[in-house]
Structure 1
Amino acid sequence: MLSIKSKQMIVLFFAVFLMFIPYPSYEEPQVSAFYENAALSDKLNVILTDEKLNGALAGVSVRSAETGELIYENDGDLRLKPASNMKLLTGAAALETLGTDYTFTTEVLADGERKGNGKMLQGDLYLKGKGDPTLMAEDLEAMAQSLKEKGIRQITGDLIADDTWYDDIRLSEDISWNDETNYTAAQISALTVSPNEDYDAGTVIVEAHPSNTKGEPAEIIVTPENDYVEIINKAETVAEDQEKDISIERTHGTNQIVIEGEIPVDGSRSRSWVAVDEPAGLALDLFHEALEEQGIKIKGEERTGKTPKAAELLVSKDSMPVEDLFIPFMKLSNNGHAEVLVKEMGRVVHEEGSWDKGLQVVEEFLADNGVNADTLRLRDGSGMSHVNNVPANEFSKLLYEVQEKDWFPAYLKSLPVAGDSDRFVGGTLRNRFDGTAAEGNIQAKTGSITAVTSLSGYVTTKDGEELVFSIVLNNYLGSVRAIEDKIAVTLAEHESE
């Protein structure tokens, strides 16, 4: 055992020895963004301790918009259901693949000979759709008028709807039975009609109004007016002091729309967007009616079929360019537009208008643009599927990467602007963030399905730093929208230390 004196001598020896060892030159250590933004991280961590998230999953990812460096993440690599944030992926892939100027075409073609000074078409007339989700009844009326101006007065053959530009699978594989008649899950067809300028293709708007007399049936208005759907009106007008209770539902597997319930005299209307079964049939019905209004008679029957290659093009109508379509698509979170874009990408790249081929294009685009496609599960283009899985970090990575694309201005413009009351500016964020630092600041895509809410986009902090963020919350009970909003406002209010 060493004595105390011996121990003291050893300590002294090492002290002298260390005096002669040269120290390395000191350099300021590189501090990561995580440490530079410790205050922000602390605030976000506190928000995520809310008891409403107990048992839930919260993927949060925040990056510098300038460098792409992660500033904050919470379960950022966890695969979560994205809801309509899925449209950020679909939309970016569509702009890259199709371009901002891309349009969809609807054609009228003839298979036969013109007789009687061109007034009679001896053959069939085809209405061929190529995916336009913005086609409306007035467009079909204009096409019928163009045929009249060409001198055509009679078709001896059939009037045929051709929707073979895409496959005949109408719904993505995870649409539930309950969703099938809702406008949010309208059937996807290459030939389809929208009832108004929100462009919810494949739907009709059904309104129930009170009659002037108690006990009378409610008055029903369908837009566009057509004979394709069958209205079963069981709704009754009741006294003024009674409550309104109206349901508008399409019977599964049919085009019977049943209106039931009670509506008080002088009460407000009830209105619903109802998805039709086989939407190409609705387009054909409206076109047939438009032809008759122009005095053009159809001798044959209405049916579906494929246009012969030798058919003569008589009239065509182009849609608005994709850049303009992106406003109703992203601002109003239009599910049908997303699925049409997926099928169109499949058609353009792989000559097959299907979900399989279209989603393959989306995955290839993501892999080529900095996103880890191997960690994703993509089942549709809109986010309606509860089987889609995308981590928050991959959303923020994509949003960072696309800033250098020439189509990025159109992409950014299409995102809802927080607190702006204009539907085609504020979109799904028009009633959120009023009076906060996020108002007029955040541009982001919303998402919402059962037990899922998401918000991903761009924000400028209080001191001018631009951030990219993604918030994806899953498996909660009740509502956690306030938590999502609190995170977004915290980012907008942030000042670097």
Structure 2
Amino acid sequence: MTHAFLSFLVRRLAPSAPPYAPSSVPFAAAARRAPLGAAALLLACAALACATPAQARIKAKHPSVNVSTVLPATVMAGLAHAHVPLSAISVVIEKVGDRTPIVALNAGKPMMPASTMKLVTTYSGLSILGPDYRWRTSAYADGNLDASGILHGNLYIQGTGDPKLVPEELIDLVQKIRKAGINGIDGALVLDKRYFDPSTRDLPPFDDDATAPYNVGPDPLLYAFKSLSFTLTPSPDGSVAIDVIPALAQLQIDNQLHATGGPCRGELPTPAVTPQPNGTVIASFAGDYAERCGPRTLNVAVLDHSAFFAGGFLALWQQTGGTFTGATREGPVPAEARLIATHEGPVLSDIVRDINKFSNNTMARNLFLTIGAVTSKPPATPEKSAHAIEAFLQKSGLNMEYLSLDNGSGLSRDEHITALSLADLLQAANASPVAQVFVDSLPVAGVDGTMRNRLTSQPVGGNAHIKTGTLRDVRAIAGYVASADGVSYIVVSIINDPHSEAARAAHDALLEWVYQGPSQPMQDVAEEPHSKPRKNPHKRTQH
């Protein structure tokens, strides 16, 4: 959706600044209505908790305010049911526009944030590159073009990391090449991928599931997330139709599936994808498929980025009537090549919406590297990107001492941040020129994105913009809640524990409690004595 942005929302710790806010961002709007200063809202904390380092930092900035380490009884019950100890959870709750936490438990402890790390990448990307930033994918040619439109030379495709170069976008480049008069290519299709450093490519998968789309790594010519979507449709005659998106020029399907009349057990046959010596790729399906299952779609990551892009481009090229008789390879665009066509991808504001709503790791990783390439000279490296983001955060007054960036998506065991730092970022983002785009990009509880099936029947549904994070042993939530009493809050909660998967109910209970207003009964707990932030061994010391 689009809205008029009225510039600079409530500035944290600056009550004299005009707290302007668009009406469609309830969090800043609520902060405008509520008086700054949270002393009246805060509960007395235990002496031990107030003495811990995270609390001491808060106390130093706000000596007249006590910070609570109490948690709602419903949250405590959820943690107990999941067998998650208090030492494994980090929580910060603040009123929008006021950095003084109302609740801060283990707030300064470095935690693995999973996909809530995307908040750091997307806010930094929007601020550094601008919401209207677009990626460019360009075509160049050398050689001669004859009267029949045959290019007796090479066609070069140069990528800059467009995170959403899907068929509907790439066809624009293909059509522009055709409009330039090229009907056939008698040379090679050459892919220029110098925008990202080679070290960022062909990385090992995060876990053992190498065919999972969430494991797809970044690439300057990322096409359709390097994943195929196979749709299986059974028929009463015993056949099973297989449709695939996107089309790849070299892909062939060997369909040996049979529709059966048995019960649907929910299992989908996984294809065996095998490259052949002649350059074709065969996706083989075999076995039985229950007719009662109806049409089902499975997504599978296949091939390497260059083979996938080349196959996708040539499939679209041939669909438009273009011919190709050469080979494909990687290489740089030569200085003498002439620019034929350029495709501009969607604006960054749309990309960020996809990244946060659907927690797309591959798009986040491409954005992360793009930040490094734009702020420094290409090729992009993770070190350049981390340096650029950390410099931006420091310039913005966000000194995140324990921030550790790896790939910017949260799909990492090496990325860490504290709940207090993440709350700081949410405050800054909500008071920034990109607040509208940023807040709108977050999933809405019970409505869309990764929160669409959560809290659907609870009052907080529709009143919270929450980014989720999920890894093995990690569950996290971070975002904004507009409470029933008209006040808006920032909520961050990160669990790092082998039993974290069972603690989703505790997080949902926390969001429900904040929506009802932090005046409900809570259970007092003390921060773990060893909650002093520890130096992360993966923290970058130089870039």
Distance 1:413 1:247, change over 3 A: same
1:209 aligns to what? 233
Letter in 1 for 2:515: A
- 1:243 and 1:177 mapped to 2: Cα distance? 26
Q: Does 1:111 align with 2:142?
A: yes
- The 5 A counterparts of 1:34-113 are 34-35=42-43, 42-44=70-72, 47-48=75-76, 50-51=79-80, 52-55=82-85, 57-113=88-144
- 1:491 and 1:47 mapped to 2: Cα distance? 11
- 1:495 and 1:97 mapped to 2: Cα distance? 35
Question: How far did residue 451 of structure 1 move?
Answer: 1.8
Question: How far did residue 211 of structure 1 move?
Answer: 4.3
Letter in 2 for 1:186: V
Question: How far did residue 260 of structure 1 move?
Answer: 5.0
Q: Which residue of 503, 516, 525 maps to 1:480? A: 503
2:468 aligns to what? 446
1:191 aligns to what? 221
Question: How far did residue 458 of structure 1 move?
Answer: 0.9
Q: Deviations over 1:117-164 (max 9, x none)?
A: x72322111122221122222444343333333332333311222222
Alpha carbons 1:240, 1:265 under 8 Å: kept:
yes
1:285 aligns to what? 311
- 2:475 and 2:286 mapped to 1: Cα distance? 32
Distance 1:243 1:334, change over 3 A: closer
Alpha carbons 1:53, 1:476 under 8 Å: kept:
no
1:198 aligns to what? none
- 2:470 and 2:416 mapped to 1: Cα distance? 14
Distance 1:436 1:252, change over 3 A: farther
Distance 1:242 1:433, change over 3 A: closer
- 1:54 and 1:407 mapped to 2: Cα distance? 36
Distance 1:134 1:341, change over 3 A: same
- 2:429 and 2:327 mapped to 1: Cα distance? 50
1:386 aligns to what? 413
Distance 1:276 1:364, change over 3 A: farther
2:152 aligns to what? 122
Alpha carbons 2:138, 2:343 under 8 Å: kept:
yes
Alpha carbons 2:69, 2:103 under 8 Å: kept:
yes
Please report the RMSD computed on the Cα atoms of aligned residues, expressed in angstroms: 2.8
Q: Name the stretch that deviates more: 321-330 or 289-298.
A: 289-298
2:33 aligns to what? none
Question: How far did residue 41 of structure 1 move?
Answer: 5.7
Where 1:340 maps in the other structure, the secondary structure is: helix
Alpha carbons 2:155, 2:187 under 8 Å: kept:
yes
Q: Which residue of 294, 297, 302 maps to 1:271? A: 297
- 1:173 and 1:76 mapped to 2: Cα distance? 33
Question: How far did residue 256 of structure 1 move?
Answer: 6.0
Question: How far did residue 356 of structure 1 move?
Answer: 2.3
- 1:470 and 1:381 mapped to 2: Cα distance? 18
Alpha carbons 2:67, 2:104 under 8 Å: kept:
no
- 1:378 and 1:193 mapped to 2: Cα distance? 25
Alpha carbons 2:472, 2:498 under 8 Å: kept:
no
- 2:404 and 2:271 mapped to 1: Cα distance? 32
Alpha carbons 2:249, 2:315 under 8 Å: kept:
no
Question: How far did residue 170 of structure 1 move?
Answer: 5.0
Q: Does 1:464 align with 2:511?
A: no
Alpha carbons 1:87, 1:338 under 8 Å: kept:
yes
Alpha carbons 1:463, 1:496 under 8 Å: kept:
no
Structure 2 unaligned regions, length at least 5: 1-37, 46-65, 521-543
Where 1:347 maps in the other structure, the secondary structure is: helix
Q: Which residue of 440, 445, 457 maps to 1:413? A: 440
Question: How far did residue 242 of structure 1 move?
Answer: 6.3
Question: How far did residue 169 of structure 1 move?
Answer: 3.8
Letter in 1 for 2:116: N
- 1:193 and 1:293 mapped to 2: Cα distance? 17
TM-score (norm 1): 0.83
Question: How far did residue 490 of structure 1 move?
Answer: 0.4
- 1:115 and 1:187 mapped to 2: Cα distance? 40
Letter in 1 for 2:215: A
- 2:191 and 2:119 mapped to 1: Cα distance? 33
- 2:391 and 2:283 mapped to 1: Cα distance? 41
Question: How far did residue 33 of structure 1 move?
Answer: 5.0
Alpha carbons 2:74, 2:509 under 8 Å: kept:
no
Alpha carbons 2:248, 2:314 under 8 Å: kept:
no
Q: Which residue of 340, 344, 348 maps to 1:318? A: 344
Alpha carbons 2:163, 2:367 under 8 Å: kept:
no
- The 5 A counterparts of 1:244-393 are 245-248=267-270, 257=283, 259-351=285-377, 352-393=379-420
Distance 1:336 1:212, change over 3 A: same
Question: How far did residue 105 of structure 1 move?
Answer: 0.9
Where 2:198 maps in the other structure, the secondary structure is: coil
Q: Deviations over 1:210-247 (max 9, x none)?
A: 24434x5x432211122444545554322244645323
Alpha carbons 1:187, 1:276 under 8 Å: kept:
no
Alpha carbons 2:75, 2:507 under 8 Å: kept:
no
Q: Does 1:237 align with 2:268?
A: no
- 1:164 and 1:396 mapped to 2: Cα distance? 36
- 2:202 and 2:439 mapped to 1: Cα distance? 27
Letter in 2 for 1:402: A
Distance 1:247 1:370, change over 3 A: farther
Distance 1:353 1:323, change over 3 A: same
Q: Deviations over 1:287-339 (max 9, x none)?
A: 22333344433332222222113311111111111012222111111111110
2:164 aligns to what? 134
2:430 aligns to what? 403
Q: Deviations over 1:221-280 (max 9, x none)?
A: 211122444545554322244645323256699976554543113532332221223223
- 2:345 and 2:167 mapped to 1: Cα distance? 13
Where 2:153 maps in the other structure, the secondary structure is: strand
Distance 1:113 1:251, change over 3 A: closer
Question: How far did residue 172 of structure 1 move?
Answer: 8.7
Percentage of identical aligned residues: 24
TM-score (norm 2): 0.77
Alpha carbons 1:81, 1:474 under 8 Å: kept:
yes
- 1:184 and 1:74 mapped to 2: Cα distance? 31
Structure 1 unaligned regions, length at least 5: 1-29, 195-200, 421-425
